Amino acid sequence: MNATPPRVLTIAGSDSGGGAGIQADLRTFFACGVHGMTAVTAVTVQNSLGVSGVSTIPPEVVAAQIEAVADDIGVLAAKTGMLATAEIIAAVAKACDKVHIGREGRIPFVVDPVAASMHGDQLLRDDAMSALRTELFPRATIVTPNLDEVRLLTGITVRDLAGARAAARALHALGPQWALVKGGHMHDDPECVDLLYDGETFLELPAARVDTVHTHGGGDTMASSITAALARGMDVPAAVRFGKAFVTRAVRHAYPLGGGVGPVSAFWRLAPEEER
Ligand code: PXL
């Protein structure tokens, strides 16, 4: 018999264009050699030009997906993406407690507080941001906001490393074990410095900025590669270094798609060594 690979769960929305969301997560899980499972929260009608419709899944169906896979298959690490509504967030929090996902239950839990697409399409209702803060952040092993999400969550506009440190402190105070402030949206900075904080120590993770507009699904790819690494038993700093290296290569291999913004590409992992 073949060995069962590590099993991971994404709780997120579908992107019909295949660039971000559940589709990016599954591609990343595949490239990382882990078995990906899904609890779908919403179906977006989407192409490379943007989102033209959203249909949310009933909260009890989201919870049932989480419980079904956890009870039978088992989950070694989980992540969240687009959660859409406060009702879905409440159902996710309850289901995760039931199956021991999250810091109390000890199954690593990556909370990526997805608020909007790159085009500015809203993926989380206004009233749901506070539910994310109060219901999911205290359960998270790590939260992974970009700078737009940092501003919505904390009110802090990050312009430099000192601002990123203040934001990391404010995020950590909301209850996660670790906060990762991603610097990718600081567009005039030639480096994309991410800042990782556990309440005591700041770890700076720089990477050269890649000149491309095709970064759709970048945040999802980073959070899902961190999740895969945690499922493989890495500690949080090692998993974040792995995720940062994974997404940097994925941005370097991003490709055009349709008439708008193309996705980052987990395909780099399939390329010959010299082309990575
Ligand atoms: O990249 C964030 C994201 C997450 N989930 C879904 C999305 C997007 C961005 O467009 O569509 C479903």
What structural domains does the chain harbor? Answer: 7-275 (3.40.1190.20)
Amino acid at 108: P
Mutate to test the pocket of ligand 1, among 26, 123, 152 (most ligand atoms within 8 A of CB): 123
Q: Rounded to the nearest whole angstrom, what is the distance from the C-alpha of residue 146 to the centroid of ligand 1?
A: 13
Mutate to test the pocket of ligand 1, among 43, 117, 124, 149 (most ligand atoms within 8 A of CB): 117
- 154 contacts: CB under 8 Å, gap ≥ 6: 167, 170, 171
Amino acid at 156: I
Question: What 3-state DSSP class applies to 54?
Answer: strand
What is the H or E stretch that residue 41 is in?
strand 35-47
Query: Which of 123, 66, 68 has its CA nearest to residue 90?
Result: 66
Q: Rounded to the nearest whole angstrom, what is the distance from the C-alpha of residue 144 to the centroid of ligand 1?
A: 14
Q: Output the tens digit of pLDDT for each of the chain's 276 residues.
A: 899 999 999 999 999 999 999 999 999 999 999 999 999 999 999 999 999 999 999 999 999 999 999 999 999 999 999 999 999 999 999 999 999 999 877 899 999 999 988 888 889 998 899 999 999 999 999 999 999 999 999 999 999 999 999 999 999 999 999 999 998 877 777 888 999 999 999 999 998 888 899 999 999 999 999 999 999 999 999 999 999 999 999 999 999 999 999 999 999 988 888 888
The answer to whether 264 touches 222, Cβ cutoff 8 Å, is no
Q: How far apart are the first and last CA of the chain?
A: 32
The answer to whether 156 touches 162, Cβ cutoff 8 Å, is no
Atom of ligand 1 nearest to the CA of 12: 5
